[in-house]
Amino acid sequence: MRKKISIDQLIPGMYVVSTNRSWLQLPFFKKRIKDDRAVAKLREHHVTELVIDTEKGSDIPIEAESFPVDPFEYPEVINENLARSNHVHQQAIARTGEIMDAVRKGEDITPDAVNQPVNMMIDQILDDPQSMLCVSVLKNSDEFTFNHCVNVAILALFLGKSLNLSRRQLMVLGKGALLHDIGKCMVPQEILSKPGKLDKSEAEIIRTHVDRGVKYLSKMRDVPKEVMDFARDHHERLDGSGYPRGLVGEQIAWHGRVGAVLDVYDSLIHENYYKGSMDPSSVLEKMTEMGGKFYDEKAVKALVDCLGTYPPGTILMLDSSEIAIVFEPNYNNPHRPRVLLITREDGSFFEHPVPADLTETKEGTSVYKRTILTVMSLEEIAFDPFKILGNFSLQGTDIS
Ligand SMILES: [Fe+2]
Ligand SMILES: [Fe+2]
């Protein structure tokens, strides 16, 4: 957990994530405080406030006061958060790959094998939902099915957190999302990864993933009903046009209705955002239009409400000519989210993303410093934004 403390509370053994002075203005690099000399050096360089990570180093005494950390005050915290989210995302994809390989081979999977990656994602989403979502939107993986299941889980947990679900409810929702397409492991790989349009019989085979998945899950130990509902009903549509059973309206279980919305949102983003045909805002707009006919309106509204007008991970061109990635929606002023700048005004790339709040005004005036000009597609910017977002390391060194 990250805590904001004053320099008076700093002791050797603590792990410093950031300070109120840029590391560039300090004579050493981060992060673990080795001894009292390191504390004294920080004082000499006018450090008055710090953010520490209590999982990596000593904590402050229980009775001592600390303050919630606003990452936007500390760019290093954002880099650290992105690094952690990237790590959790990679780990979750690796664990999901292991689960799916086991299913492909006809082996049993234990509840623990599923609980572990979901728990990891819950911890990260509770700690820092925005960077987790940014990473999941922008990090493209060759293995679509693993990536899709992890991304739907991250989206589900992001939504669940915004609805104040309990940890147990988050666990159920996250597991449902992670396992919803498990039946695809039993569909021939050449059909799953076939580029271009599928013929009728191939499409029929893909559709069998729902029943195959439900059959597999029903043999697994300790699978909650809601997880089954998610897997069984995520391709059903309110008007009865879905599959496999063509259920209508409330015949479709609630977790299936939420699952359908999350599943389609992620699929549309990944099918279209990379190719430039539709950005996350337009996907949400389209889903809102279709809500009521195909999708549960309450579920669509809940997703729109938590993702905002410009969902985290959306790429923007600003009137300053800078390119930015949406980091945190602004629910009070939807067109002025908090963003991460990835280029300067002249188009050159920053080494690390630079936080900026679009509500900021030019000094002494009420004129906004930056305003959104347009949403950009990943194809238009012609580079991988993750090269900037991923330009950080989890490795720290001792401060001495
Ligand atoms: Fe599916
Ligand atoms: Fe899916």
What confidence score (pLDDT) does residue 400 get?
Answer: 45
**At 222, which amino acid appears?**
D
Query: 148 alpha carbon to ligand 2 midpoint, in Å?
Result: 7
Q: Which domains are present in the chain?
A: 2-69 (no CATH), 76-307 (1.10.3210.10), 315-389 (no CATH)
Burial 231-269, CB ≥16 within 10 A → b, else e = bbbbbbbbeeebeeeebeeeebbebbbbbbbbbbbbebb
What confidence score (pLDDT) does residue 351 get?
Answer: 82
Residue 393 has pLDDT above 60, yes or no: no
Query: 29 alpha carbon to ligand 1 midpoint, in Å?
Result: 47
Split at pLDDT 50, 70, 90, the class of 66 is low
Query: 63 alpha carbon to ligand 1 midpoint, in Å?
Result: 49
- The larger pLDDT score, comparing residue 290 to residue 22, is at 290
- Report the alpha-carbon distance of residue 56 to residue 42 in Å, rounded: 19
What confidence score (pLDDT) does residue 2 get?
Answer: 77
Token pair for 249: 């309206």
Coil/strand/helix, residue 357: strand
Burial of 164 (0-12, 13-18, 19+ CB in 10 A): exposed
Positive or negative CA dihedral for 58, 62, 65, 68? positive
Token pair for 339: 């963003």
Contact between 298 and 260 under an 8 Å Cβ cutoff? The reply is no
Positive or negative CA dihedral for 284, 95, 17, 167? positive
What confidence score (pLDDT) does residue 396 get?
Answer: 46
Query: What is the average per-residue pLDDT within 15-39?
Result: 75
Residue 144 has pLDDT above 80, yes or no: no
Query: 231 alpha carbon to ligand 2 midpoint, in Å?
Result: 9
Token pair for 70: 């606003």
Q: Residue 4 pairs with which residues in a beta bridge?
A: 51, 67
Give residue for tokens 């699929």: 267
pLDDT digits (tens, 9 = 90+) for 156-204: 999 999 999 999 999 999 999 999 999 999 999 888 888 888 899 999 9
Q: Nearest Cα to 319, choosing from 394, 372, 247? A: 372
- Report the alpha-carbon distance of residue 75 to residue 251 in Å, rounded: 48
pLDDT digits (tens, 9 = 90+) for 208-247: 999 999 999 999 988 999 999 999 999 999 999 999 999 9
Q: Nearest Cα to 279, choosing from 251, 253, 311? A: 311
SS3 content of the chain, % helix, strand, coil (to 5): 50, 15, 35
Across the chain, what does the average pLDDT equal?
87
Looking at 51-55, 90-94, 356-360, which range is the least confident one? 51-55
Residue 152 has pLDDT above 70, yes or no: yes
Q: Residue 31 pairs with which residues in a beta bridge?
A: 397
Query: What is the average per-residue pLDDT within 90-95?
Result: 92
Query: 236 alpha carbon to ligand 1 midpoint, in Å?
Result: 10
36-45, 48-57, 253-262, 343-352: range with highest mean pLDDT? 253-262
What's the chain's Rg over C-alpha atoms? 23
Query: 306 alpha carbon to ligand 1 midpoint, in Å?
Result: 23
Q: Nearest Cα to 150, choosing from 108, 102, 95, 187? A: 95
Query: 38 alpha carbon to ligand 2 midpoint, in Å?
Result: 51
Q: Nearest Cα to 307, choosing from 167, 129, 128? A: 129
Query: 191 alpha carbon to ligand 1 midpoint, in Å?
Result: 14
Q: Nearest Cα to 13, choosing from 44, 35, 42, 38? A: 35
Split at pLDDT 50, 70, 90, the class of 63 is low
Query: What is the average per-residue pLDDT within 38-47?
Result: 85
Q: Nearest Cα to 6, choosing from 54, 49, 40? A: 49
Query: 311 alpha carbon to ligand 2 midpoint, in Å?
Result: 20
What confidence score (pLDDT) does residue 221 get?
Answer: 86
What confidence score (pLDDT) does residue 127 get?
Answer: 84
Contact between 121 and 231 under an 8 Å Cβ cutoff? The reply is no
Q: Nearest Cα to 216, choosing from 262, 179, 258, 177? A: 179
What confidence score (pLDDT) does residue 391 get?
Answer: 61
- Report the alpha-carbon distance of residue 99 to residue 93 in Å, rounded: 10
Residue 394 has pLDDT above 60, yes or no: no
Q: Which ligand is nearest to the CA of 184?
A: 1
Token pair for 145: 């099915």
What confidence score (pLDDT) does residue 341 get?
Answer: 93
Please count the other Cβ atoms lying within 10 Å of the Cβ belonging to residue 94.
13
Please count the other Cβ atoms lying within 10 Å of the Cβ belonging to residue 218.
11
Q: Which helix (H) or strand (E) holds 173?
A: helix 167-179
What confidence score (pLDDT) does residue 395 get?
Answer: 45
Query: 326 alpha carbon to ligand 2 midpoint, in Å?
Result: 25
Q: Nearest Cα to 27, choosing from 54, 47, 8? A: 47
Query: 173 alpha carbon to ligand 1 midpoint, in Å?
Result: 15
Residue 384 has pLDDT above 80, yes or no: no
